[in-house]
Amino acid sequence: MYGYYRVAAAVNTTVIGNTQENGTEVLALIKEAHKKEVSVIVFPELTLTGYTASDLLMNQTLIASQNETFAYILKNIKTINTIAIIGLVVFEADRLYNCAAVIQNGKVLGIVPKSYLPNKKEFYEKRQFTTGRDITRTTVDMLDVEVPFGVDLLFTDKKDMTFGVEICEDLWAVTPPSNHMASNGANLLFNLSASNELIGKHEYREELVRTQSARCMSAYVYSSAGVGESTTDTVFGGHAIICEYGSTLLQNERFRMDSHLIIADVDLERLRWLRVNESSYGDGRRKKTRVIKVDALPELSTLQRDINPMPFVPSRYADKKHRCDEIVNIQAHGLIKRMSHAHIKKAVIGISGGLDSTLALLSTHKAYKIMGWDNKDIIAVTMPGFGTTTRTKSNAVQLCEALGVTLKTIDITDISLKQFEAIEHDKDEHSVTYENVQARARTNLLMNIANKLGGLVIGTGDLSEIALGWSTYNGDHMSMYALNSGIPKTLIQYVIEYYKENEKITDIIDDILSTPISPELLPHEGDEIVQETESIIGPYELHDFFLYHFIKYGAKPSKIRYLASMAFNTKYDEDTIAKWLNVFLRRFFTQQFKRSCMPDGPKVGTISLSPRADWKMASDVDFEVWLNEL
C-alpha cells in the first residue's frame, strides 16, 4: 500500500533450555503477526535456546532439541507468508555460529551469522561461537536442505522492500554490517539482540537504533531478550524498538511478564526516494551481495500509522523555544552577513499587518538587537491601498511603534490610479491587472526608498507562496534579500506565536494570527476583508502538506492524496483534498519561472526552492503526467 510495510518486533517469554516451550511461544507470535498483516517479524537473539544458556550452547542435546523445534515451527507456518527472523545456533564445519534464520511459508530463505562477538565483562561469546564476519557466497545444511549462508545476504520482494539482518553487538561495532547492507539497497534493517539492563542503558540503546536508522536512511527494527533469561548475573528487560529515518515510531514497556509484539507501518518507498533526493547515499561503497527473492507478503488492508498534518511544524514534544530560536537566528544571521558585507545600515520592509511581514520585521529586529544596531535604521513602510482595512493597518502601526522602528506611511491609491490611467485600465475593473498594479507600486516604492537611503529591501514572501507562485512577478516577488523564503506559512504561524513571550506585542500578535490571510488588493465593504487568499487557492495547511511530500521524496500525487486524507480525515473530505492538490500541481509547475529568478534568501529547513541550490527545474515542463497519476 503506497510503499508501506507492516513490521513487528517480538519479545517472547523464555524458558532457558526448553526449546519446545520457547517454540510454542514463537509460533503463537508469528501467527498473531500474520493475522495483523505483518510483513516481517523479528525475535530476540538465540530465540529457541535462550541467550543465557551459555556453555550449554555447546551441548549436542540442546542443539538437537533446538533443531527439532525449528523443524516444528517450519512445519506449522507452511501457509503463513509473514517472514519471521529467529535466532539459532548453527553447527557448520565443526564450528558454532550465532545466527539469524529468515523463514517464510515453511522454508528457510537464508541464514545470517553474527559478525562481532562481544568478549568482555558479562559477555563472553567467543567461548562458544566463531565469528561469521568473513562468510560469503556459501551455503549451509539446515534440516537436510542447503540454504544460503553468510553476511552477504539481503532479502527483497522486488518492490519497495529490501532488508538485511544483523545481530546484537553488530550494531555496537565501529562499522556495523548494516552500513554495508544499506549501501547495497537495504532500506529495512533487523536486529536480534540480547542486551541486558543497566542504569541508563535503555536510553543509549534507543538512541543507537534511532541514529543508525538515520545514518542508513532506513527503518530499523530491534528486539532484545526479555523475561525468562537468567538473572544469575544480569537482568534482561526485553526492549523492542522500531525506528524510521531518525525517528522512534514505537518502543515497548520493558520488563513485561508476557510474550508480546510491537507493530508499526514503515514507509519504505519514501526511504528509497529520500536516498535519491538528499544524500550522498549513492557514493556509498557497494559490496558483492546475494539478494534473495521472498514470496508475496501480506497485503495491508488499512494503514495503521499517524500521519502528521503539519510536517514542517516541530512536534508537540519538541522544545518550542529552542526550535524557534534556531529559526530566527538563521534568519537574523543571514541578514547580518548580507548587510555587513554590503556595508548597509538600513533595512526597508513593507509592513501590511499580515503574517509574513510581521515575521520579517521581528527577525530583522532580532538581527539589529544581536548587532547592537539602531532600531531606527529599520524603515517599516505601510502602504495602504484600495483594500487595506483599519484592522491590518492598525496592527502594522502598533507593532512598529512597540519595536521602536522608523515608520513611514505612503498611500498608494493615487499612484495606482495614475498607473491605471497610463495603461488605459478601467479603475472599476477589478481584474488581475488591478491587483498587480498595486503590488508593483508597493515594491517600486520600497526599492526607491532603499535607493535613496542606501538601504536593503527585505522580502517578506514565504516558501508556501513561492511554491504556488502566489506573488506578482517583479512585485512582491522581488526584493534584495528574501528573508522568509525558506519558511512555509504553517511554520511562520508557529514562530510568530513564539514572539508572544514579549508582553509588549502579545495582544498585537494574537490579532495578527487571527486575521484572515489576504493580499488586501480589492476594495472592502464596511472595512471588512473581502479577499481571503485561502478561499481562492486553498488552505495553506494542505498546500504545505502537499509541498513537503512532493519535494522531500518525490511522492506520487495519488500517495499524497491518500496521506492527506488520513492526516486531515476529520477536516477535509477526499474530493476537497483532490481539488486543492490539483491546484497545487498546476500552480507549482506553471509558476517555476518566478522561482527561476527569485532573490537570495536563507534556507531554514530541509526543503528550499532556491534555483541556485535546492530546486532546479525547467519553467516549461509538461505536467499532464502528474495530473493523470492523481
Cα 489 versus chain centre, distance: 18
**Residue spans of beta strands (DSSP E) within 211-345:** 219-224, 240-244, 247-251, 260-267, 290-293
Cell, residue 341 = 558585507
CB 484 within 8 A of CB 360: yes
Helix or strand (DSSP H, E) at 590: helix 574-590
Greatest extent of the chain over all pairs of C-alpha atoms, in Å: 100
Strand partners, 99: 88, 113
Cell, residue 289 = 551481495
Is 203 among the catalytic positions? no
Helix or strand (DSSP H, E) at 96: strand 95-104
Given the residues 25, 92, 166, 168, select the one marked as catalytic: 168
Q: How far apart are CA 475 and CA 489, in angstroms?
A: 19
Is 45 among the catalytic positions? yes
Is 293 among the catalytic positions? no
Given the residues 25, 32, 37, 45, select the one marked as catalytic: 45
User: 3-class DSSP state for residue 630?
Assistant: coil
Non-local (6+) Cβ contacts of 525 within 8 A are none
Read off the amino acid at residue 326.
E
Non-local (6+) Cβ contacts of 449 within 8 A are 348, 379, 381, 408, 455
- The full 3-state SS of 173-214, as one line of letters, equals CCCCHHHHHHHCCCCEEEEEECCECCCCHHHHHHHHHHHHHH
Non-local (6+) Cβ contacts of 242 within 8 A are 7, 9, 219, 220, 221, 222, 248, 249, 250, 251, 262, 264, 266
Q: How far apart are CA 390 and CA 395, in angstroms?
A: 8
Q: How far apart are CA 390 and CA 554, in angstroms?
A: 43
Given the residues 32, 37, 92, 114, select the one marked as catalytic: 114
DSSP state, residue 516: P
User: What pairing do the DSSP bridges indicate for beta strands 346-350 and 378-382?
Assistant: parallel
Q: How far apart are CA 38 and CA 35, in angstroms?
A: 8
Catalytic residues: 45, 114, 168
